[in-house]
A and B are shown apart, each in its own frame.
Chain A
């Protein structure tokens, strides 16, 4: 079993839809949770960064962490064609620096105009 599981998609939605992207994990020590967006043939860029449980909102993006269920989500409201990309979740226990970050495989999202 992988430490972090993420549905690879692809996920196709119409423009304006609410998108829900999810990851599950098995390591209960994880307490730092990140979402990266990666456009085709580009490097990932950090979208959201959350510590422990709860919600964090930034514009159209909301990150949600449920540590009791070992489940994290990224919601995108009013999705745009420019949101079409692969979204990677990443997480760590915070004790070992970035070399200890575990990445999901990524979910490919396509927003159709």
Chain B
């Protein structure tokens, strides 16, 4: 079993829809990251969480440490949000990455 599971694997949405991507993990962690990988491959760090909730623009990330679960929400989605969103956990030391969720937002 993977230590980091993301769902869904693929997601297609219409512009303006509210989007949720989930991440579950099976080990204790010191932090959880949400990353965005653009079609060209470059990776941008969106959030680093160790508890609670963070908001940046239209993006919201939450984490429940007891349930070992995190969600990434995108409000008022836009075609430029189309990318692969990756959840990564940091148990101790190095990051462990999920396989990513491929999001396509149609105009």
Instruction: Say whether A associates with B.
Output: no
